[in-house]
Structure 1
Amino acid sequence: MNTPTTTPPPPRPSGAREVLAYNWPLYTGGLSAVTAGLALAPRLPRVPAALARTGALAAAALLIGSTAACWWVYDRSELYSLDWLTGLLPDGPGDHLLISTGLDETSHPLALRHPGTAQTVVDLYDPALTTEGSVRRARRRVPPRPGTLPGSPARLPVATGSRDTVFAVFAAHELRLARDREALFAEITRTLRPGGTLVLVEHLRDRANTAAFGPGAWHFLPRREWLRLARGAGLHPVTETRIAHLVTAFTFRRSAA
């Protein structure tokens, strides 16, 4: 008698615990700064001791604040349930392309939410382009889904004008060179049907994210950069919404003409 096989469920989306694991060198450095500041302060003259304590407390506040922000966004918000998507795409995504750069945690919930649509996933991961160590560590934990196609910013293996929607969720900012981002946006426009939509989801380099993540917010890109890239690729902004106060979801549309 044959025993039916079952497909193991995908790992749960990354939360604060996984973010700590992906970025452990940064957190280790922060904890070391806290420990060193508090340990040195009693041995220093009054003014340097005050500076050491202040630095240690600032580092501790940043560690606690950024961890709390990750927990709020990734563990508690509607980010991975995709409930926010209904307001952006009331008619659904149609035939869609999802772009990742080493960590794809959106294609599975998106396929479950819209089972009648055709989905293609393209991974742009390249250690020469996506240089963050956190991406390498995340990729080891969450390998690409079966059927994921390799691609590059200048070559998405998708036919011209074949997709109703393209999703780039926490993906495009990992391309650290402007020319790579520009090439990607040009390719996105090429793959979209006339009237098609790009859904771009990113943290922004803004006041809210700087308050939450401190210097780490400089890894994100400012809003004006995403608007510049879209405009240069012939896409115009349609809607913009915030998720958990720290994530921005844009929709950009290709002209129907």
Structure 2
Amino acid sequence: MNRPAGHRSGVREVVAYNWPLYTAGIAVAAGAGALHGGLPPRLRPVARAAGAAAAGLLASTTLATWLVYDRSGLYGFDWLDTLLPGPPAAHLVVGTGLDEASVPLAARWPGSRQTTVDLYDPAVMTEGSVRRARRRVPPPTHALPGRAGALPVPDASADAVLLFFAAHELRCRAERGRLFAECARALRPGGSIVLVEHLRDPANTAVFGPGAWHFYPRREWLRLADETGLRLAAERRIAGLVTAFSFTRGAGA
């Protein structure tokens, strides 16, 4: 899970949520250096390579986190203007453990009726990073509990649905499909689903290494949209590592 919180440091927040991974990386890098001199000559290149790989991954991950979450305009939400035709009269924010969008969106669209749904289920979302994030940033009191296949909102009640670093936390393929179907059900004709995610692609793999396998490739999100009767209306890359999609529901859908 990757998140800066408002005016906090994005790097500090990400490290706090994922500290076991950072600790393991530092331990590998330091351990390889400490053990290098005492190893047989034939094993020293292996130790050097392991230490260099761990140090390089720590550096690239930290730099990418800083660029995306501390330096880009991701949390200014100005990029929404290129994905939506205008401020929605009503919008739905769906989270899966950590709500980082409802407050800034309420400020951005003060005339829009907002509904926030929290899908967090500790029995399903077992990753430690999610638990640590929720302890540090509890869900807002206005959030409604829900399930991927049962959002507590009426049909055709929102002009926009925002999934902000949320959908990838549903690790079951069927659950992601149910979520997209429910989001489409909540959309008014002509409405849009805005999906914001890191992708499992060369850029994210280069900086996050094996961690990029926690993300899904672009084709997965396009598949879900197609199976739900949505079409890709717009797509924008943010800071080179985050992709924002806008999927629309046609008037006859």
Residue 196 of structure 1, aligned match among 183, 191, 200: 191
Task: Write out per-residue CA displacement over residues 171-212 of structure 1, whole angstroms, 9 at most, x where no aligned residue.
Answer: 000000001101101101111111110000000000000011
Contact in 2 for aligned 1:235/1:252 (Cα 8 Å): yes
| Match in the other structure for 1:168 | 163
Q: Distance in 2 between matches of 1:204 and 1:179?
A: 19
Written as runs of structure 1 = structure 2, the 5 A alignment for 1:238-253 is: 238-253=233-248
Q: Distance in 1 between matches of 2:15 and 2:8?
A: 14
| Match in the other structure for 1:231 | 226
| Match in the other structure for 2:102 | 107
Confirm or deny that 1:119 pairs with 2:105. no
Counterpart residue type for residue 237 of structure 2: R
Q: Distance in 2 between matches of 1:182 and 1:65?
A: 33
Confirm or deny that 1:53 pairs with 2:53. no
Residue 15 of structure 1, aligned match among 10, 14, 22: 10
Task: Write out per-residue CA displacement over residues 144-170 of structure 1, whole angstroms, 9 at most, x where no aligned residue.
Answer: 112110000010000001110100000
Report the count of equivalent residues: 248
| Match in the other structure for 1:91 | 86
After TM superposition, the score normalised by the length of structure 2 is 0.95
| Match in the other structure for 1:6 | none
Residue 210 of structure 1, aligned match among 199, 205, 209: 205
Residue aligned with 1:98, SS: strand
- What is the aligned-residue identity percentage? 60
Contact in 2 for aligned 1:158/1:191 (Cα 8 Å): yes
Confirm or deny that 1:69 pairs with 2:99. no
Contact in 1 for aligned 2:6/2:75 (Cα 8 Å): no
Q: Distance in 1 between matches of 2:158 and 2:196?
A: 18
Contact in 1 for aligned 2:93/2:102 (Cα 8 Å): yes
Q: Distance in 1 between matches of 2:246 and 2:103?
A: 20
Contact in 2 for aligned 1:204/1:247 (Cα 8 Å): yes
Return structure 1 stretches of 4+ with deviation > 2 angstroms. Answer: 10-14
> How many Å apart are 1:12 and its aligned residue?
3.5
Contact in 2 for aligned 1:13/1:105 (Cα 8 Å): no
> How many Å apart are 1:136 and its aligned residue?
0.7
Q: Distance in 2 between matches of 1:14 and 1:167?
A: 23
Which ranges in structure 1 are unaligned for 5 or more consecutive residues? 1-9
Q: 1:13 to 1:236 in 2, by over 3 A?
A: farther
Contact in 2 for aligned 1:11/1:142 (Cα 8 Å): no
> How many Å apart are 1:39 and its aligned residue?
1.2
> How many Å apart are 1:14 and its aligned residue?
6.1
Q: Distance in 2 between matches of 1:156 and 1:252?
A: 18
Q: Distance in 2 between matches of 1:243 and 1:70?
A: 13
